[in-house]
């Protein structure tokens, strides 16, 4: 089996994209994890999820924008997304990465771009989730989040259970009354910043999940890990937290069986739906996360 490290290496080699596209059936396989390259593709995918009783989040693929022109193009795309959500009547909000909006160029510039999106979402009675990236971006991301939350209120944050600092960040966000998306975290972090062992990350995830569910604020518990899901369900039952007082969140195409099962059980289920031209690195990272994803691709590429 190809290693996670090899798949992550391949994700950096965009020239391989054309090679993979020539493989029979590859485009169909990528649709398992990516809705498509444009807004209409994502709308169609989200409408299907809505019919199955699930909500969604638009995730326009891209990060680490190097130019103001690219950042402003992404802002315009999110403004179009918010208009399309309203026009199509889909049940969805949006998520943004701040490096996509120019954080690596200038923090104040990024804030202005993010403000345009949050302000537009407010007009459309919608919500913006600010994604968290690697730990070098955490402080700046939280600064921008706090400013926007204070100005508009319709903005939430993602916090990562594998960072040592996250419990304090959770406490600070809860004191503000903000909505949190709790996830484990997926970036490779230096020693001294993140828990080195999965068992420690899991224990912190459960500890933070309990804080969120006790808070009385509507949060997202983002995981594909059945043990974390079971722990969340058990704690909600013990604490008499209603199933509509929080939501589970997963990625498009990952553990579809579990997504539908939770929705049928009456839990709120939100799916992050990625789309856009920069799908290749995202697709390769999804393969690197779980061996089952690699087997899915191989089975569908080489089936008779």
CA separation for the pair 97, 156 (Å, rounded): 12
The answer to whether residue 62 sits within a structural domain is yes
Any catalytic annotation for residue 181? yes
Question: Residues 245-278: pLDDT tens digits?
Answer: 999 999 998 899 999 999 999 999 999 999 987 7
The answer to whether residue 13 sits within a structural domain is no
- Whole-prediction pTM value? 0.87
Q: Which of 115, 129, 181, 255 is catalytic?
A: 181
Any catalytic annotation for residue 143? no
The answer to whether residue 203 sits within a structural domain is yes
Residue from 123, 125, 68, 58 nearest 97 by CA: 58
CA separation for the pair 178, 193 (Å, rounded): 24
Question: Residues 137-164: pLDDT tens digits?
Answer: 999 999 999 999 999 999 999 999 999 9
Q: What total of structural domains would you count in the chain?
A: 1
User: Residue 1: its pLDDT value, please?
Assistant: 44
Task: Work out the mean pLDDT of the chain and round it to a whole number.
Answer: 88
**Mean pLDDT, residues 70-82:** 97
| The two structure tokens encoding residue 150 | 């204070």
Question: Residues 108-129: pLDDT tens digits?
Answer: 999 999 999 999 999 999 999 9
The answer to whether residue 299 sits within a structural domain is no
Q: Helix, strand, coil shares of the chain as percentages rounded to 5? A: 55, 15, 35
Please give the residue range of the domain that contains residue 58: 35-275
User: Residue 68: its pLDDT value, please?
Assistant: 97
CA separation for the pair 196, 151 (Å, rounded): 37
> Given a cut of 50, is residue 301 above it in pLDDT?
no
| The two structure tokens encoding residue 72 | 């402003």
Q: Which of 131, 169, 179, 255 is catalytic?
A: 131
Question: Residues 172-219: pLDDT tens digits?
Answer: 999 999 999 999 998 889 889 999 999 999 999 999 999 999 999 999
Which secondary-structure segment (H or E) carries 200?
helix 198-214
Determine contact, residues 292/258, Cβ cutoff 8 Å: no
The answer to whether residue 254 sits within a structural domain is yes
The answer to whether residue 17 sits within a structural domain is no
The answer to whether residue 216 sits within a structural domain is yes
Find the CATH number of the domain harbouring 155. 3.20.20.220
């Amino acid at each position: 089996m190809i290693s996670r490290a090899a798949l992550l290496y391949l994700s950096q080699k965009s020239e391989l994209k054309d090679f993979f596209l020539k493989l029979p059936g590859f485009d169909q396989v990528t649709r398992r994890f990516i809705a498509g390259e444009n807004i209409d593709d994502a709308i169609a995918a989200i409408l299907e999820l809505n019919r199955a009783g699930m909500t969604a989040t638009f995730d326009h693929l891209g990060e680490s924008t190097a130019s103001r022109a690219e950042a402003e193009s992404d802002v315009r795309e999110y403004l179009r997304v918010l208009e399309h959500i309203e026009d199509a009547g889909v049940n969805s909000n949006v998520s943004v990465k701040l490096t996509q909006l120019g954080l690596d160029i200038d923090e104040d510039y990024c804030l202005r771009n993010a403000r345009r999106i949050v302000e537009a979402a407010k007009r459309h009675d919608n919500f913006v989730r600010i994604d968290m990236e690697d730990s070098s971006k955490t402080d700046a991301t939280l600064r921008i989040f706090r400013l926007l939350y204070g100005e508009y209120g319709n903005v939430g944050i993602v916090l990562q259970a594998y960072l040592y600092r996250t419990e304090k960040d959770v406490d600070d966000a809860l004191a503000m009354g903000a909505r949190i998306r709790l996830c484990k975290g997926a970036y490779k972090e230096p020693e001294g910043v993140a828990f080195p062992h999965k068992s420690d990350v899991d224990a912190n995830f459960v500890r933070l999940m309990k804080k969120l569910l006790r808070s009385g604020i509507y949060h997202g518990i983002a995981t594909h890990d059945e043990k974390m899901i079971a722990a969340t369900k058990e704690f909600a039952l013990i604490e008499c937290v209603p199933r509509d007082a929080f939501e589970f969140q997963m990625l498009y195409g990952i553990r579809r069986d579990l997504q539908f099962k939770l929705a049928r059980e009456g839990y709120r289920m939100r799916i992050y739906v990625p789309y856009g031209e920069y799908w290749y690195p995202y697709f390769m990272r999804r393969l690197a996360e779980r061996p089952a994803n690699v087997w899915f691709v191989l089975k569908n590429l080489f089936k008779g």
